[in-house]
């Protein structure tokens, strides 16, 4: 009864809010159910053992994309299973999508080299498949990977290739924005603006004003970097109006903060404070920690400029706390420098020293803020009577100033030389025009005469070279025909020799098997027959001796079975030679699994045709060496082996989930048999790449060209 009474009282207190609480609980329950269903659905597809079909492959791919941002490992498992089924079905559309999915998985994990490999294979399949929209997507993803690696030229090349395959205006605008970002990172603001202008023209015609406003805001950012504050402010205000109309609060907060920054730069401090406060309120409403920190830092800067030091200190202190949570060391250091300068203004030299030292610990030696930091620190130390330390940091400041001055001088010298060459070029152009006008007729005559002789010389030279080339071509053709005939004869001789050797080996194997059957198994079976005949002839003595003969016969049969197993094993020992690389690696996989310690995954793609014998033996020994190293050293329980054949090469990857190692430590590399593997790769012109981090497993990638003569 007491419990019922408590519930009634609680319901009475929540009477006005009960409906809202019910709605929230229902939404949470639905979200939990949907997430559980998605997880179970993907798990059921992975565990589904029904016959492989294209529909099953499509389901696996959909599940992989669905889990990509939630569980990368699960997404990768879906992709690998889909790849295996696609290869069995020769399902080209599935292969295109699977390699794209695996590339995205590696990109999200930060394995950029592996992502590039997967995207390259996806691109090859998609070009063969002929889907231009999909080709655009793969080129765009390759551009993103190269941009993340800092390889801006390659990123530009792939974005340009993507543009050739796209027809949709929204995608065109997105690509132009990506290219603009690259030019901005390279410091070429004019090119960046040109591409953004083209993107904005496309987006203005679209039905999504928010995208156009973001493009305008990006243009304003570049105008701000170029010092064109009026243009930047105008574009920011246009963007703010659109974001407010479309109720895009996050972008509205960003553009409001940028408006305040422009107002501060042009001297409108009161307006800047209003804009910063508006942006701060918006970021607080969105719980955006980085935005809150940036707004408070800017408020501290403008209040410091106005001489309101206590208010500025509070803002900088809050900003440091927020930037620490965000993890931005340069922003933290900037706030500490401002706090140090405030302390200097308030004659609190101990606090100034502490603030500057904290900033120094956060900044790299190449930072442009070091000069200001060392000046404030040396000034604080001098006022504290610590002259030796003050002198030390003053010298460091002088070294930084000299470095900056040297860079500025070099830049100015380059600019001066460029201007000098430009002026000289202008003078030369004027002199040239004057000379042309003065001696026009005379030069025309000389040019015509020279041109006539030149044409005659070119004609005779061409006729002579043509005659010589034809003569050389005839000789080369004769030599080529002779070489072809010689090569053809050698190939025929080699083919006949190979056939004879193969027949000899087959005949020897048949004789060995026949001899084993005759000498070992035949004699034992004969003895069994004699024992049973003896039992038949001595039927009267069966009661006394039959049991003993039966036991002897049974033992002989057991021995015969053992002999059959030995003969069978001798036949199977040639799996690699007789059945090929894939069958041999399947046998290796089974052998490792039978130890009971490892889960082994083996995928072979585009290996329906046999490789050369030497290639197959070398690849098998390499994989055998790598798996042996994993079992000896890696402390792993999962092994993944993948073979992907392209037009002129084969890619091998062996991965484990073991303890990993530091690839910079040469001793660790020797521990996994690197020299042994490299000795096998050397005659094949193969390349080896090891990707490993301590505690996160090891991935070994090998590429072997198939046209290498060994």
Return the CATH number at 617: 3.30.565.10
What gap in Å lies between CA 306 and CA 320, rounded to an integer?
21
Same domain, 451 and 538: yes
pLDDT at 213 over 90: no
Domain assignment of residue 29, yes or no: no
Query: Residue 701's pLDDT is what?
Result: 92
Last residue of a domain, one of 570, 603, 623: 570
pLDDT at 502 over 60: no
Least confident range from 500-504, 554-558, 700-704: namely 500-504
Stretch 113-117: mean pLDDT: 88
Which of 434-448, 584-598, 663-677 tops mean pLDDT? 584-598
What gap in Å lies between CA 216 and CA 237, rounded to an integer?
10
Q: Which of 355, 289, 347 is nearest to 323 (CA)?
A: 289
> What rounded mean pLDDT belongs to the chain?
77
Stretch 208-233: mean pLDDT: 88
Handedness of CA 411, 415, 418, 424 (dihedral sign): negative
Same domain, 626 and 608: yes
- The label of the residue with tokens 């408070």 reads 296
Stretch 287-310: mean pLDDT: 89
Q: How many CB atoms lie within 10 A of CB 557?
A: 14
Same domain, 553 and 448: yes
Query: Residue 461's pLDDT is what?
Result: 84
Same domain, 512 and 631: no
Is 309 within 8 Å of 287 (Cβ atoms)? no
Residue 649, token pair as written in the block: 């090469």
Same domain, 542 and 621: no
Same domain, 585 and 561: no
Residue 421, token pair as written in the block: 């060459």
Last residue of a domain, one of 515, 546, 570: 570
pLDDT one-digit tens code per residue, 337-353:
888 888 888 889 898 88
> Which helix or strand (DSSP H or E) is residue 80 part of?
helix 72-89
Strand partners, 602: 641
Domain assignment of residue 239, yes or no: no
Domain assignment of residue 360, yes or no: no
Same domain, 472 and 520: yes
What gap in Å lies between CA 104 and CA 110, rounded to an integer?
10
Higher pLDDT, 101 or 14: 101
Query: Residue 533's pLDDT is what?
Result: 61
Higher pLDDT, 456 or 423: 456
Domain assignment of residue 511, yes or no: yes
What gap in Å lies between CA 279 and CA 296, rounded to an integer?
10
Higher pLDDT, 518 or 474: 474
Q: Which of 275, 184, 279 is nearest to 225 (CA)?
A: 184
What gap in Å lies between CA 606 and CA 646, rounded to an integer?
7
Domain assignment of residue 65, yes or no: no
Q: CB within 8 A of 279, min separation 6: which ones?
A: 253, 254, 256, 257, 260, 291, 295
Q: How many CB atoms lie within 10 A of CB 130?
A: 9
Q: CB within 8 A of 564, min separation 6: which ones?
A: 521
Domain assignment of residue 165, yes or no: no
pLDDT one-digit tens code per residue, 19-70:
444 444 444 444 444 444 444 456 665 556 567 788 888 888 888 888 877 7
Same domain, 554 and 599: no
Query: Residue 13's pLDDT is what?
Result: 43
Higher pLDDT, 476 or 405: 476
Same domain, 680 and 565: no
Same domain, 555 and 592: no
pLDDT at 245 over 60: yes
pLDDT at 694 over 60: yes
What gap in Å lies between CA 246 and CA 280, rounded to an integer?
20
Same domain, 637 and 519: no
pLDDT at 102 over 50: yes
Helices 132-148 and 92-109, interaxial angle, to 10°? 20
Same domain, 558 and 595: no
- The label of the residue with tokens 């565990």 reads 47
Q: Domain range spanning residue 629? A: 579-705
Domain assignment of residue 674, yes or no: yes
Residue 16, token pair as written in the block: 């006005």
Last residue of a domain, one of 514, 541, 570: 570
What gap in Å lies between CA 91 and CA 636, rounded to an integer?
33
Stretch 401-405: mean pLDDT: 67
- The label of the residue with tokens 């050369």 reads 612
Query: Residue 535's pLDDT is what?
Result: 62
Is 261 within 8 Å of 298 (Cβ atoms)? yes
Stretch 512-532: mean pLDDT: 60
């Amino acid at each position: 009864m007491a419990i019922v009474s408590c519930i009634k009282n609680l319901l009475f207190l929540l009477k006005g809010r009960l409906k809202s609480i019910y709605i929230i609980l229902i939404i949470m329950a639905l979200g939990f159910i949907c997430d559980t269903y998605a997880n179970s659905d993907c798990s059921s597809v992975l565990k589904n053992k029904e016959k492989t079909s294209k529909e099953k492959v499509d389901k696996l791919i959909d599940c992989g994309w669905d889990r990509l941002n939630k569980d990368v490992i699960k997404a990768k498992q879906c992709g690998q299973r889909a790849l295996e089924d696609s290869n069995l079905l020769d399902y080209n559309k599935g292969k295109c999508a699977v390699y794209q999915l695996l590339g995205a998985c590696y990109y999200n994990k930060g394995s950029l080299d592996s992502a590039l490999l997967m995207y390259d294979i996806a691109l090859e399949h998609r070009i063969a498949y002929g889907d231009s929209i999909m080709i655009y997507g793969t080129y765009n993803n390759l551009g993103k990977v190269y941009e993340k690696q800092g390889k801006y030229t390659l990123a530009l090349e792939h974005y340009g290739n993507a543009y050739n395959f796209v027809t949709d205006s929204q995608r065109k605008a997105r690509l132009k924005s990506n290219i603009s970002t690259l030019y901005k990172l390279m410091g070429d603001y004019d090119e960046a603006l040109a591409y953004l202008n083209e993107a904005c023209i496309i987006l203005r015609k679209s039905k999504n004003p928010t995208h156009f406003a973001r493009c305008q805001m990006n243009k304003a950012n570049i105008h701000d970097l170029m010092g064109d504050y009026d243009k930047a402010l105008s574009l920011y205000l246009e963007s703010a109006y659109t974001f407010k109309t479309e109720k895009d609060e996050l972008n509205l907060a960003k553009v409001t903060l940028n408006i305040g920054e422009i107002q501060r730069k042009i001297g409108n401090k009161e307006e800047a404070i209003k804009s910063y406060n508006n942006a701060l309120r918006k970021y607080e409403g969105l719980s955006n920690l980085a935005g809150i920190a940036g707004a408070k830092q800017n408020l501290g800067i403008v209040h410091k400029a106005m001489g309101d030091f206590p208010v500025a200190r509070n803002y900088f202190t809050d900003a440091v706390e927020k930037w620490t949570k965000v993890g931005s060391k340069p922003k933290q250091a900037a706030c500490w420098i401002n706090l140090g300068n405030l302390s200097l203004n308030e004659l609190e030299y101990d606090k100034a020293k502490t603030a500057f030292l904290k900033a120094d610990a956060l900044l790299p030696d190449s930072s442009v803020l070091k000069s200001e930091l060392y000046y404030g620190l040396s000034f604080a130390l001098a006022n504290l009577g610590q002259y030796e330390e003050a002198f030390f940091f003053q010298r460091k400041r002088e070294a930084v100033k000299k470095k900056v001055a040297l860079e500025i001088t070099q830049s100015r010298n380059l600019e001066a030389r460029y201007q000098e060459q430009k002026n000289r070029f202008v003078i030369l152009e004027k002199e040239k025009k004057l000379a042309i006008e003065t001696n026009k007729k005379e030069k025309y005559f000389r040019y015509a005469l020279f041109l006539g002789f030149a044409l005659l010389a070119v004609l005779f030279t061409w006729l002579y070279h043509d005659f010589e080339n034809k003569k050389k071509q005839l000789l080369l053709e004769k030599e080529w025909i002779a070489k072809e005939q010689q090569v053809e004869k050698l190939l025929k001789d080699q083919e006949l020799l190979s056939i004879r050797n193969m027949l000899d080996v087959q005949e020897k194997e048949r004789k060995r098997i026949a001899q084993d059957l005759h000498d070992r198994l035949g004699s034992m079976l004969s003895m069994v027959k004699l024992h049973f005949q003896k039992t038949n002839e001595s039927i009267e003595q069966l009661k006394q001796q039959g049991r003993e003969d039966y036991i002897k016969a049974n033992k002989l049969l057991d021995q015969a079975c053992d002999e059959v197993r030995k003969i069978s094993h001798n036949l199977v020992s040639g799996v690699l030679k007789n059945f090929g690389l894939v069958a041999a690696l399947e046998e290796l996989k089974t052998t490792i699994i039978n130890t009971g310690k490892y889960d082994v995954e083996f995928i072979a793609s585009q290996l329906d045709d046999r490789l050369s014998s030497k290639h197959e033996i070398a690849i098998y020994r390499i994989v055998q060496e790598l798996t042996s190293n994993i079992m000896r050293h890696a402390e792993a329980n999962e092994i993944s082996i993948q073979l992907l054949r392209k037009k002129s090469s084969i890619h091998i990857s062996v991965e484990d989930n073991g303890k990993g190692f530091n690839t910079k430590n040469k001793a660790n590399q020797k521990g996994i048999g690197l020299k042994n593997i490299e000795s096998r790769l050397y005659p094949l012109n193969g390349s080896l790449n090891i990707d490993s981090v301590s505690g996160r497993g090891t991935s070994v990638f090998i590429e072997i060209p198939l046209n290498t003569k060994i």
